[in-house]
């Protein structure tokens, strides 16, 4: 979408630069393209709404949404909602990671563990986390525990399977080399399998936390009294479309921040990755 | 010739169960590798030569037969048999020096001693200045030099090399062969080398064992009485060319058989 814009801006770049698969492009261009895609989306939105092509009840203007956002922070204590949601997401995600990473590693390392765990994980993974909400309300009430449990269910089973794949993909030659250098099985796991899996595990966590952010809204839409999801469902009752959109955008922003945090961590922790 | 073999490969066979029928990879191989000998197994692709090496390394179990090193029967992998693979098996999260020290650290060698040995091998394989580089910064040839240094630093009784230069370009490959002969002439380890490259086999070895196409058997044994130290000029000498021709004739027959085998596979 942003490519035509870039071409007019930087005439010195030939088409070849863009069309070579996986070839690097200048860092400045990379950033410009990223910002550009946001800008185009925003421009499209502005054009459609300020021209009144779309009824503001269905899609308010960017200015209205921004105003609604300010009102949310000033009058409706939106900061607390954000903190509540973040807390639930992080807690559910943390539990899923603390339990899921070791189980996934076991599964990817030992065939017996794989045989034991994989079928059940593959089975539960396809059960939609949102369908557990009525059950969890029955079992756990309508407080934070229930919300965290939804996040956990949504993240944990996927995480285990993905971490198992990461561990399985560690090249066998590398493990065998360690054996011929005198390593015992425990040492092969600790000194080869684990460090070799870490970058892949961090990548998995980054993807999973993104999903956790999407589950939080579902969890907070039902039987809730705080959080971004709760704000969205309240706004719907009042037909405050601008607040709904601001809530969605907030979650998008939080997700983006988390994503960049993980990417930054990846670069800091694993400078050796090719 | 009455010297007892250092590495004794006795009646080794290996069969796989694949697709319902049994595939015999190697069939009744007997070999005796002498102490401090550079022995090479030369064979067409798919003849099971790598399987044989993996059995010696203890990474695969033979269906029949046994391997003995200094009289002891091999039952699994161990630090007495260092191995260099064709694929790049450096640990990417460790620097060049840390890679070379990996085995020493497992063996409980003291830190200063580790550093000393690693430094020695870094220099020996010509990687001075790259001690603290990660493998991602190295070329393919450099990576294999580290892999050889890592295996040698661990001071194994036997060094096993499975087509270590197979993934390198021709020029790098020739340089690596020279480096390996020099290193071998200096450390004089017993080496079992596996390759499908005739010239490489003759240039490096004291003895070359030619294998048949699948199922792999030993077809012939070629003594290489070329003087040492060896350098690349040797490759155009008359004796070298004669030995190369002899090996080429033997391997060509097998390569043809191997292609026919693959077609019916």
CB–CB contacts below 8 A, A to B: 70
C-alpha span between A221 and A130 (Å, rounded): 10
Superfamily of domain B7-264: P-loop containing nucleotide triphosphate hydrolases (3.40.50.300)
Which pLDDT score, from 0 to 100, does residue A11 have? Answer: 54
Could you read off the pLDDT of B136-179 as tens digits, one per residue? 999 999 999 999 999 999 999 999 999 999 989 999 999 999 99
Looking at chain B, which residue has its C-alpha nearest residue A171? Answer: B89
B225: distance to nearest CA of chain A, Å? Answer: 31
Which strands, in side-by-side order, build the sheet including B21-33? B21-33, B7-18, B64-69, B72-73
Which pLDDT score, from 0 to 100, does residue B253 have? Answer: 84
Mean pLDDT of chain B: 91
Which pLDDT score, from 0 to 100, does residue A122 have? Answer: 87
Q: What is the ipTM of this complex?
A: 0.90
Of the partner residues B58, B89, B93, the one whose CB lies closest to the CB of residue A272: B93
Q: Which residues of chain A form CATH 1.10.3720.10?
A: 69-269
Mutation target vs B (from A178, A180, A193; most B CBs, 10 A cutoff): A180
Of the partner residues B87, B102, B154, the one whose CB lies closest to the CB of residue A173: B87
Contact across the interface for B89 and A174, Cβ inside 8 Å: yes
Mutation target vs B (from A181, A198, A270; most B CBs, 10 A cutoff): A181
C-alpha span between B69 and B158 (Å, rounded): 9
Mutation target vs A (from B54, B59, B146; most A CBs, 10 A cutoff): B59
- Go through B193-226 and write b for each residue having 16 or more CB atoms within 10 A of its CB, e for each that does not: bbbbbbbbbbbbbbbbbbbbbbbbbbbeebebee
Which pLDDT score, from 0 to 100, does residue B3 have? Answer: 64
Which pLDDT score, from 0 to 100, does residue A148 have? Answer: 95
Looking at chain B, which residue has its C-alpha nearest residue A176? Answer: B59
Q: Which residues of chain B does A270 touch, with a Cβ-Cβ cutoff of 8 Å?
A: 93
Superfamily of domain A69-269: MetI-like (1.10.3720.10)
Looking at chain A, which residue has its C-alpha nearest residue B138? Answer: A274
C-alpha span between A162 and B150 (Å, rounded): 32
Contact (CB, 8 A) for B79 and B107: yes
Contact across the interface for B89 and A173, Cβ inside 8 Å: yes
A172: distance to nearest CA of chain B, Å? Answer: 9
Q: Which residues of chain B does A171 touch, with a Cβ-Cβ cutoff of 8 Å?
A: 87, 89
Give DSSP secondary structure letters for chain A. Answer: --HHHHHHH-TTS-HHHHHSTT----HHHHHHHHHHHHHHHHHHHHHHHHTTSS-TTTS--HHHHHHHHHHHHHHS-HHHHHHHHHHHHHHHHHHHHHHHHHHHHHHHH-HHHHHHHHHHHHHHHTS-GGGGHHHHHHHH-SSHHHHHHHHHHHHHHHHHHHHHHHHHTS-HHHHHHHHHTT--HHHHIIIIIHHHHHHHHHHHHHHHHHHHHHHHHHHHHSS-SSSHHHHHHHHHHTT-HHHHHHHHHHHHHHHHHHHHHHHHHHHHH-TT--
C-alpha span between B254 and B262 (Å, rounded): 12
C-alpha span between B193 and B161 (Å, rounded): 5
Q: How far is CA A208 from CA A83, A153, A161, A203, A205, in A?
A: 20, 11, 11, 9, 5
State the 10-residue block means of pLDDT for chain A, 274 residues long.
45 70 83 92 94 90 94 93 95 96 95 93 88 92 93 94 96 94 95 96 95 89 90 92 94 92 95 91
Please give the residue that has the higher pLDDT: either A2 or B252: B252
Which pLDDT score, from 0 to 100, does residue B174 have? Answer: 92
C-alpha span between B83 and B81 (Å, rounded): 6
B54: distance to nearest CA of chain A, Å? Answer: 10
Of the partner residues A174, A176, A198, the one whose CB lies closest to the CB of residue B91: A174
Mutation target vs B (from A169, A170, A176, A182; most B CBs, 10 A cutoff): A182
Could you read off the pLDDT of B126-140 as tens digits, one per residue? 999 999 999 999 999
Q: Is B68 helix (H, G, I), strand (E, B) or coil?
A: strand
Which pLDDT score, from 0 to 100, does residue B19 have? Answer: 75
B interface with A, Cβ–Cβ < 8 A, is: 57-59, 76-79, 81-83, 85, 87, 89, 91-94, 102-103, 106-107, 134-136, 147, 150-151, 154, 160
Looking at chain A, which residue has its C-alpha nearest residue B96? Answer: A272
Contact across the interface for B151 and A180, Cβ inside 8 Å: yes
C-alpha span between A158 and A100 (Å, rounded): 9
C-alpha span between A167 and A196 (Å, rounded): 8
A192: distance to nearest CA of chain B, Å? Answer: 8
Mutation target vs A (from B58, B76, B92, B109; most A CBs, 10 A cutoff): B92
Question: Which long-range contacts (C-beta less than 8 Å, at least 24 apart) are formed by A271-274?
Answer: A271/B134, A272/B92, A272/B93, A272/B94, A272/B134, A272/B135, A272/B136, A273/A199, A273/B92, A273/B136, A274/B92, A274/B136
Q: Which residues of chain A does B81 touch, with a Cβ-Cβ cutoff of 8 Å?
A: 180
Looking at chain B, which residue has its C-alpha nearest residue A194? Answer: B93
Burial of A34 (0-12, 13-18, 19+ CB in 10 A): exposed
pTM of the model: 0.84
Could you read off the pLDDT of B230-241 as tens digits, one per residue? 988 899 999 999
B157: distance to nearest CA of chain A, Å? Answer: 12
Contact (CB, 8 A) for B251 and B244: no
Of the partner residues B83, B87, B136, the one whose CB lies closest to the CB of residue A274: B136
Helices vs strands, H then E, count in chain B: 7, 10
Contact across the interface for A181 and B151, Cβ inside 8 Å: yes
Of the partner residues A179, A182, A191, the one whose CB lies closest to the CB of residue B59: A179
Contact across the interface for B91 and A179, Cβ inside 8 Å: no
C-alpha span between A212 and A154 (Å, rounded): 7
- Type and span of the H or E element at B83: strand B81-84
């Amino acid at each position: 979408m942003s490519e035509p814009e870039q071409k007019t801006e930087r005439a010195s770049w030939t088409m070849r630069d863009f069309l070579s698969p996986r070839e690097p492009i200048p860092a400045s261009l990379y950033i410009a393209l990223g910002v550009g895609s946001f800008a185009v989306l925003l421009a499209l939105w502005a054009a459609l709404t300020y021209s009144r092509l779309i009824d503001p009840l269905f899609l308010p203007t960017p200015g209205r949404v921004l105003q609604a956002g300010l009102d949310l922070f000033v009058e409706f204590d939106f900061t607390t909602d954000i903190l509540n949601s973040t807390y639930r997401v992080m807690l559910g995600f943390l539990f899923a990671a603390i339990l899921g990473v070791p189980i996934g590693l076991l599964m990817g390392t030992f065939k017996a563990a794989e045989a034991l765990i994989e079928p059940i994980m593959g089975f539960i993974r396809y059960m939609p986390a949102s369908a557990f909400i009525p059950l969890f309300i029955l079992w756990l009430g309508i407080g934070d525990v229930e919300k965290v449990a939804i996040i956990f269910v949504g993240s944990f089973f996927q995480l285990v399977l993905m971490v198992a794949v990461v561990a399985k993909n560690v090249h066998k030659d590398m493990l065998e080399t360690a054996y011929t250098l005198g390593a015992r099985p425990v040492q092969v796991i600790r000194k080869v399998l684990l460090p070799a899996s870490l970058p892949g595990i961090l990548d998995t966590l980054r993807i999973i936390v993104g999903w956790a952010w999407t589950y939080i809204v579902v969890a907070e839409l039902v039987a809730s009294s705080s959080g971004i999801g709760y704000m969205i469902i309240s706004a719907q009752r009042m037909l405050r479309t601008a607040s709904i959109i601001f809530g969605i955008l907030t979650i998008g922003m939080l997700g983006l921040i988390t994503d960049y945090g993980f990417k930054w961590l990846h670069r800091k922790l694993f400078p050796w990755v090719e | 010739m009455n010297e007892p073999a250092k590495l004794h490969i006795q009646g080794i066979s290996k069969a796989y169960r694949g697709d319902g029928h049994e595939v015999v990879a190697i069939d009744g191989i007997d070999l005796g590798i002498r102490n401090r000998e550079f022995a090479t197994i030369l064979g067409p692709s798919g003849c099971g030569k790598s399987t044989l090496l993996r059995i010696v390394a203890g990474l695969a179990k033979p269906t029949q037969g046994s391997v003995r090193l200094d009289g002891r029967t091999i039952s699994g992998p161990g630090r007495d048999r260092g191995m260099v693979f064709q694929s790049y098996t450096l640990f990417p999260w460790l620097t060049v020096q840390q890679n070379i020290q990996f085995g020493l650290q497992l063996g409980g060698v003291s830190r200063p001693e580790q550093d000393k040995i690693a430094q020695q091998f870094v220099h020996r394989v010509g990687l001075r200045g790259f001690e603290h580089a990660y493998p991602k910064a190295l070329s393919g040839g450099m990576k294999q030099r580290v892999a050889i240094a890592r295996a040698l630093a661990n001071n194994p009784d036997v060094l096993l090399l499975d087509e270590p230069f197979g993934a390198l370009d021709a020029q790098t490959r020739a340089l690596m062969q020279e480096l390996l002969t020099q290193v071998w002439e200096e450390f004089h380890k017993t080496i079992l080398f596996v390759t499908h490259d005739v010239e490489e086999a003759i240039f490096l070895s004291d003895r070359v064992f030619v294998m048949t196409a699948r199922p792999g058997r030993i077809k012939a044994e070629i003594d290489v009485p070329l003087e040492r130290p060896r350098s690349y000029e040797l490759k155009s000498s008359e004796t070298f060319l004669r030995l190369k021709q002899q090996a080429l004739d033997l391997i060509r027959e097998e390569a043809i058989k191997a292609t026919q085998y693959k077609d019916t596979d």
